[in-house]
Chains A and B, each alone.
Chain A
């Protein structure tokens, strides 16, 4: 346990001693601010329209804070698709390039501990990103009283979703010594899992069901609506486990190949 913590700690220091952490954080915070404003404006306008309609057709209830948080958090899920490869790209590829992997793989650590350490290191950084979205979100609490249930489930969904993308990124970073290739490859794979959604909307019957199930985004919908369904949780957890298992195997094969 202590050595896993040591790996996480070292990785966090590495993030913050390179520009990557700052670039990712800055872009993320900036974009989340911009998107929050845009969504806020859109929802307000819709609110205004529905008020005018209410004068003609009688009042209809509208959950404005809920709409805002839902819109905002699902936008964040898209932005995260772009950010996470930057968090995971160097995890193993840098170690391979610098030869420090030889230290990790000859220390009295199991390969599993190394994999878990790396995964949680990226997970910790991701958590910082997630927490930073509370800055715009708190606005909702200042000026209204949004229902906390859906917000909490949405965050849980984002957490599971982010961690499974991270697991994919961790796996891909074991495949190459080059950070850029690692990032681009991860991005490509994640994009593919995302595009499945689009393909699903054009497909028919069974293939539609299969494609919808494979899409990493479709499983997020229910979370943002405040629904906690086991099937979605199972989906993300299994994606995570499969990717981490592949990472573990990839390190084993790295040892054989030298």
Chain B
């Protein structure tokens, strides 16, 4: 449905994204994950035809965004990072305006506005002035605006930002319902959001894609590290040095320490179960093994790992 090829965007003073390529399949929810300034908004703005790319191309449903901007824009509902709301208008008045500029035919205008208002549950405030609504309602009106004319593609830039947990849950459920019929690209820097809503994740950092996979697979792709947490009763320094010498162990960190006991985090080689080796080492040394468990790395850790690894790489070179 969407195909992005070698996209590069240079602003006057800086390159925001570089050689970004990916595809989004029909009906899929793709998560765009990255820290502040990663280039999420820039990429989305290029896809929706708000700004031209410096290099590369974007196709939506077969149309190139620079050559056929209107064909692309007709197929996209876009929620910008800051919802584009006219604060002096009522919710209905605003959505009617959006419907008109999106070319909804006159006879379908009222029904379309009613439909989207119900979809995002803002019907109860439909005659209120947008400027007087709460943040959550404003965000939903922004979402309603994107849904007008039922576009096959939805591009949502941080759709849950500024909402309370209940509203966040509602918006995520809504996005999940939209998938299938719509192709959705959403950006976020909140990890659970990606894990809960997306079929596929792109992790982007400083303008470059650093990982693309399903949330499940990313969980496994531990950058060559398997983690184990253990609690040991014994002399801390000795314990750590002995464990470090155990085959398969790459690193040992002390997490906590209290009256002769310590909690440790051990990193081992990927896909190698080091737990029995660790247990043997502890028991043979005559210490007490209080706890031993594999710590599955959450996406959050991966993310931190990916970005910090990159940083270390940069510093080193």
Nearest CB in chain B to that of A99: its residue: B82
* Chain B residues within an 8 Å CB radius of A238: none
Given contacts A13-B93, A108-B74, contact A102 B50 (CB under 8 A): yes
B76 interface residue per 8 A CB criterion:
yes
* Chain A residues within an 8 Å CB radius of B51: 255-256, 258
Distance in Å from the Cβ of A148 to the closest Cβ of chain B? Answer: 39
A60 interface residue per 8 A CB criterion:
no
Size category of the A interface is: 20 to 34
B237 interface residue per 8 A CB criterion:
no
B178 interface residue per 8 A CB criterion:
no
A105 in contact with B12 (CB, 8 Å): no
Given contacts A6-B100, A10-B97, A18-B88, contact A105 B50 (CB under 8 A): yes
Of the candidates A6, A7, A106, A109, the one whose C-beta lies within 8 Å of that of B50 is A106
Distance in Å from the Cβ of A210 to the closest Cβ of chain B? Answer: 37
B73 interface residue per 8 A CB criterion:
yes
A17 in contact with B50 (CB, 8 Å): no
| A interface footprint on B254-282 (CB within 8 Å = 1, 0 otherwise) | 00000000000000000000000000000
A108 in contact with B73 (CB, 8 Å): yes
Of the candidates A5, A7, A17, A106, the one whose C-beta lies within 8 Å of that of B49 is A106
Separation of A14 and B131 alpha carbons in the complex (Å): 13
Given contacts A102-B50, A258-B45, A258-B51, contact A110 B70 (CB under 8 A): yes
B101 in contact with A104 (CB, 8 Å): yes
Interface residues of B in 146-183 (CB under 8 A from A): none
Nearest CB in chain B to that of A16: its residue: B88
Separation of A2 and B85 alpha carbons in the complex (Å): 21
Separation of A120 and B97 alpha carbons in the complex (Å): 17
Of the candidates B11, B76, B89, B101, the one whose C-beta lies within 8 Å of that of A258 is B11
A128 interface residue per 8 A CB criterion:
no
Separation of A163 and B50 alpha carbons in the complex (Å): 29
A107 interface residue per 8 A CB criterion:
yes
* Chain B residues within an 8 Å CB radius of A3: 100-101, 103
Q: Is the interface of B mostly helix, strand, loop or mixed?
A: loop
* Chain B residues within an 8 Å CB radius of A101: 84
| B interface footprint on A98-122 (CB within 8 Å = 1, 0 otherwise) | 1111111111111000000000000
B86 in contact with A99 (CB, 8 Å): no
B145 interface residue per 8 A CB criterion:
yes
> Number of contacting residues on B, CB 8 A?
31
A256 in contact with B52 (CB, 8 Å): yes
Separation of A106 and B74 alpha carbons in the complex (Å): 9
B92 interface residue per 8 A CB criterion:
no
Interface residues of A in 1-37 (CB under 8 A from B): 2-3, 5-7, 9-10, 13-14, 17-18
B102 interface residue per 8 A CB criterion:
yes
B78 interface residue per 8 A CB criterion:
yes
* Chain A residues within an 8 Å CB radius of B243: none
B295 interface residue per 8 A CB criterion:
no
A102 in contact with B84 (CB, 8 Å): yes
Distance in Å from the Cβ of A141 to the closest Cβ of chain B? Answer: 39
Distance in Å from the Cβ of B176 to the closest Cβ of chain A? Answer: 24
Separation of A6 and B73 alpha carbons in the complex (Å): 18
A100 in contact with B11 (CB, 8 Å): no
B100 in contact with A2 (CB, 8 Å): yes
* Chain A residues within an 8 Å CB radius of B76: 106
* Chain A residues within an 8 Å CB radius of B48: 106
B211 interface residue per 8 A CB criterion:
no
* Chain B residues within an 8 Å CB radius of A106: 48-50, 73, 76, 78, 80
B87 interface residue per 8 A CB criterion:
yes
B187 interface residue per 8 A CB criterion:
no
A17 in contact with B101 (CB, 8 Å): no
* Chain A residues within an 8 Å CB radius of B87: 98
Of the candidates B11, B42, B73, B80, the one whose C-beta lies within 8 Å of that of A99 is B80
Interface residues of A in 217-258 (CB under 8 A from B): 255-258
A107 in contact with B11 (CB, 8 Å): no
B98 interface residue per 8 A CB criterion:
yes
A100 in contact with B85 (CB, 8 Å): yes
| A interface footprint on B54-98 (CB within 8 Å = 1, 0 otherwise) | 000000000000000010011010101011111111000100011
B84 in contact with A103 (CB, 8 Å): yes
Separation of A255 and B98 alpha carbons in the complex (Å): 20
Q: Which 5 A-B pairs have the closest CB atoms?
A: A6-B100, A103-B84, A99-B82, A100-B84, A17-B88
Pairs A–B under 8 Å by Cβ, sample size 5: A3-B100, A13-B88, A13-B89, A100-B86, A258-B45
